[in-house]
Amino acid sequence: MNPKEFGGDSPWPTIFDAVGFGVILVDADARVLLWNGWLTRHCGVNAQSALGQSLAAVFGDGVSPSFLAGLRNALHYKLPVVLSNVLHLCPLPLYAQTPTSATALRMPHAITMTPMVVSPWGACCLIQVTDSSRAVSREKVLQRHSERLNREVMTDSLTRAFSRGFFDQFYQQEFALAQRQGTRLSLIMIDVDYFKNYNDAYGHPAGDQALIAVVKALTATLLRATDKLARYGGEEFVVILPDCAQYKALAIAEQLRVAVSALKWPHRQSGISDQLTISLGVSTLESCQTCSAAMLLGAADLALYAAKSQGRNCVHYRSPKDAPAPV
């Protein structure tokens, strides 16, 4: 502040220096008439150095183009301007503490420009600068919380495979994309053989660990980032294979079956083996084939039923044409 501008006995310099936000008053030529202590603390420029200077000269190259454009508009059109911290990231070189190096991080802030007429200078613009650090911190916390909740919704809490909700949404998207682009889409339905017997023999905590191990083996076998494994329900899982032909899907299904067998996870009550095994059903939407998403999923489920009916620990295929059309 420059007390002489407001009269030596004026209380305004003391008041402006005490407020918890930045106050700048500029004339029609964008030269500084008022500069409070908050700005000195957060940019290192005192009032004596700022008064009479243009803001571009005071801040140097640190002023963003959006700030300069907003100031020109406020002075020329006599309309208020708001630069939010969301749309305008740190338009001025302001810092939580006086910067000690060129690499110091800027303090998030929001700016309001209000055109006004102030005697004796005439047309002026009052610039208010507020610290947005807390708001930005809250936004980051909320964003992290939202991302965590989103991951929890998308991910099965036990196995860390994708959830049924994720599958329902992702499958519809991939099916629509395959039909629109005329590409293939394959599904693999998976069931852990005699898993109820496993829980009865070893207990549910052991069953949980077995499912976790199965998912790790399945996930490690899926090499493409586009291939997604989801827990469909209980001991059933489903794999979405975008742009995957029938023969490739069958080969991947066999690799998945072998990967689980290679765990050699004990299962005395299996009925077909002394270790955990899986049955798999495969179906493929061929290029430009006409069927619905429900029919493709139904065909994969029919194939899984066939695999379970014919001895388990094997892979079977059914065409979407084999599935009944939805009513």
CB contact set of 237 (below 8 Å; sequence gap of 6+) = 161, 189, 190, 191, 214, 215, 218, 229, 230, 231
Residue 38: CB atoms within 10 A of its CB come to 21
Which position among 139, 147, 152, 235 bears the catalytic label? 235
Phi, psi of 14 (to 5 degrees): -65, -40
Q: What does the DSSP 8-state code read for residue 245? A: -
CA 199, 203, 208, 214 dihedral sign is negative
Residue type, 180: R
Q: What does the DSSP 8-state code read for residue 325? A: P
Tokens representing 310 are 């014919």
Helix (H), strand (E) at residue 81? strand 81-83
Residues 261, 256: Cα–Cα separation, whole Å: 9
Is 254 one of the catalytic residues?
no
CA distances from 315 to 114, 229, 273, 308 (A): 72, 17, 16, 9
When computed from its CA atoms, the radius of gyration of the chain, rounded to whole angstroms, is 33
> In this structure, are residues 185 and 227 in contact, taking their beta carbons and an 8 Å threshold?
no
Q: Which residues are designated catalytic?
A: 235
